[in-house]
Structure 1
Amino acid sequence: MTGRTRKPENCLWCGRPVADAPLGRRRRYCRRSCRQRAYEHRTLAREAGLPEDAVVLTADEASAVADRAFEVRCAAEDVATAVGEGAGPEELAPLCADLVRLARAAERLR
Structure 2
Amino acid sequence: MTGASRRPDSCVWCGREVAETGMGRRRRYCRQSCRQRAYEQRNQVKGTSIPADAVVLTSEEASAMVDRIFQVRCAAEDVATAVAEGAAAHEVESLCADLVQLAREAERFR
**Same fold per superposition (TM over 0.5):** yes
Q: Is 1:31 matched with 2:25?
A: no
Code of the residue aligned with 2:47 in structure 1: it is E
Query: How much has 1:47 moved relative to structure 2?
Result: 3.3
Q: Is the 8 A contact 1:11 1:18 kept in 2?
A: yes
Q: 2:67 matched to which residue of 1? A: 67
Query: How much has 1:46 moved relative to structure 2?
Result: 2.1
Query: How much has 1:21 moved relative to structure 2?
Result: 1.2
Query: How much has 1:49 moved relative to structure 2?
Result: 2.1
Query: How much has 1:8 moved relative to structure 2?
Result: 6.2
Query: How much has 1:97 moved relative to structure 2?
Result: 0.4
Which moved further from structure 2: 7-16 or 90-99?
A: 7-16
Q: Is the 8 A contact 1:8 1:20 kept in 2?
A: no
Code of the residue aligned with 2:65 in structure 1: it is V
TM-score w.r.t. length of structure 2: 0.88
Tell me how far apart the structure 1 counterparts of residues 9 and 89 of structure 2 sit (CA, whole Å): 31
Q: Is 1:107 matched with 2:107?
A: yes
Q: 1:4 matched to which residue of 2? A: none
Q: Is the 8 A contact 1:72 1:102 kept in 2?
A: yes
Code of the residue aligned with 1:17 in structure 2: it is E
Unpaired stretches in structure 2, ≥5 consecutive residues: 1-6
SS of equivalent to 1:30: coil
Q: 2:4 matched to which residue of 1? A: none
Unpaired stretches in structure 1, ≥5 consecutive residues: 1-6
Q: 1:9 matched to which residue of 2? A: 9
Query: How much has 1:48 moved relative to structure 2?
Result: 2.8
The number of equivalent residue pairs is: 104
Q: Is 1:53 matched with 2:53?
A: yes
Query: How much has 1:61 moved relative to structure 2?
Result: 0.9
